[in-house]
Amino acid sequence: MHEEPHTPKPNFIRQIVSDDLAAGKHGIVHTRFPPEPNGYLHIGHAKSIVLNFGLAEDFGGLCNLRFDDTNPHKENQEFVAAIKEDVRWLGFGWDDRLYFASDYFSNLFDYALELIDKGLAYVCELNAEDMREYRGTLKEPGRDSPFRDRSPAENRDLFQQMRAGEFPDGSKVLRARIDMASPNINLRDPVLYRIRHGVIHHQTGAEWCLYPMYDFTHPISDAIEGVTHSLCTLEFEDHRPLYDWIVSNLSVPTQPRQIEFSRLNLEYTVTSKRKLTELVSEGHVNGWDDPRMPTLSGLRRRGYTPAAIRDFCQRIGITKSENRIEMQLLEDCIRDDLNRHAPRRLAVINPIKVVLSNYDDNACEYLPAPNHPQDPSLGERRLPFCRELWIDRADFQETANKKYKRLVSGGLVRLRNGYVIRCDEVIKDAGGEIQELHCHWYPDTLENNPDGEKVRGVIHWVSARHGEPAEIRLYDRLFNIANPGKKSGDYRSDINPDSLLTCVNAVVEPCLAAATPEQRFQFEREGYFCRDSSSEKLVFNRTVTLRDTWARNTSEET
């Protein structure tokens, strides 16, 4: 089917980049995506990935993947591997531009010494509580540390002793010497280095006991790598003066520019790394790749496509306005993509047996069915049809009004891509539970309805002899309200207890036994599903329903 070409959506960052190139400020656009490897990437990171890699791609520039690994207590190699896999899965690459902030630990140490020698950094011995008190408030200026006026020589010697491991954790830090009266608290002599003993870093091992802070590491790493436009979310806007102070007071090779944009806040989920970690560690979900999680690995396992996520990021755009994006928009993106590309299949989630009383018990025929009714290029498959079939319990009622368009006692219905049948008898067990339906088969109705008979509608089915048993997991939104925790104060109390319903007795058409992990389908009349990638059994995860089933509560404050 025809694919629309990618047309970048205009935004203020794209305009800044265009203006900078036109003014000759840069010969090439160079961006970076700098995740911290302390968890898995989520849908909010996708916005940054698409922006940074996409901007470089559109302008013929470069984008680095750089891990901000300055906090080894929470970081590990598992997260590094997962992040690289997610970025590649989204369709982006970094060639030979894979970096770690830890690659620059020696450079950063030397730059810290440069600040010390210039009288712009000092070793401080205030404890954390005293440092907070000295820092002041938004209404009151801070006070100078009693250690602020040490000489550069003394500070250099102390800092090198810190590097050598001669002081315990928390006893000393290195601080920038800027302005304790600044209205921007981030400029009130921020901490640049802290001591961390007994930590094994996933890249540098036990080589360092002295670790730089992010606000010191980030601008220097950008400058070393030749980044021209350092794109950050709005929480770093107040940190930009510190970013600029660092690069302007050091002999770094380039002068990158930081630009901020609004982060992605998505309804009916959380994207806080802390909350996501709690969901995993407290057992509310089954790992980082649980299909209910907003992580890229969870969305991937649920059946989302890279194209749908990139489309979503393009649709929401880049602005400086904080807002919450409707979950429906993300779901519409995957529906649009899968509606075009996903082959159609038949699956019965809650089966009830149908016996065709007038069909030869030994007969079997194969009925042609298109793989995609709007895309003939996908071809067709053959559906085995025999005397016993499975239909879904929801597709039968003993009695129903005229609006019910499925099978009823004495009524006619068409089997999808098949014949018309009529229900003649309902077989029940001693408890009154329906066990099977005995139906009449109309042999000449593959293309026509029976003369003089009214057919209520069309239902799906699977051959009882040929169908494959499968487990189907019906995933839904993880939270019951758009803004989890807003009313209750605890986001956990808003977890949707029906976010996962497991159907272990489902039956699917036989060709689905060969489905590969993550292969996606439309189960006709049921929704979009994909083969689960973490189970050896035949398991299908629901990606999204065919239509939006969540009625928006317009009175709810979000």
- Among 120, 190, 186, 131, residue whose Cα is nearest residue 156: 120
Q: Give the side-chain half-sphere CA count within 13 A for 321.
A: 8
Give the residue from 338, 299, 302 showing the smallest Cα distance to 521: 338
Radius of gyration of the chain (CA): 31
Q: Which of the residues 143, 273, 340, 416 is marked catalytic? A: 273
Q: Which residue has the tokens 């996962």?
A: 500
Whether 273 is a known active-site residue: answer yes
CB-based contact 293:265 (threshold 8 Å): no
Q: At what angle do helices 152-163 and 105-117 cross, to 10 degrees?
A: 160
Q: Residue 465: which region, alpha, beta or left (left: phi > 0; alpha: psi -120 to 50)?
A: alpha
Residues 6+ apart with CB under 8 A from 326: 267, 552
Q: What is the DSSP string of 508-527?
A: E-GGGGGPPTT-EEEETTTE
Instruction: Please check whether residue 288 is in contact with residue 277, taking contact to mean a CB–CB distance below 8 angstroms.
Output: no
263 flagged as catalytic: yes
In 3-state terms, the chain is what percent helix, strand and coil (to 5)? 30, 25, 45
Query: Could you say which of 14, 97, 148, 263 is catalytic?
Result: 263
3-state per-residue secondary structure call for 199-241:
CCECCCECCCCEEECHHHHHHHHHHHHCCCEEEEEHHHHHHHH
444 vs 38: CA distance, rounded Å: 63
Helix (H, G, I), strand (E, B) or coil at 144: coil
Out of 14, 36, 278, 525, the active site residue is: 36
Strands 98-100 and 412-415: unpaired
Is the CA virtual torsion 522, 527, 532, 537 positive or negative? Answer: negative
Phi and psi dihedrals of 424, rounded to 5?
Answer: -105, -30
Joined tokens for residue 353: 């047996």
> Which residues is 397 bridged to in the sheet?
408
Structure tokens at 107: 């450079």
Task: Provide the annotated active-site residues.
Answer: 36, 263, 273
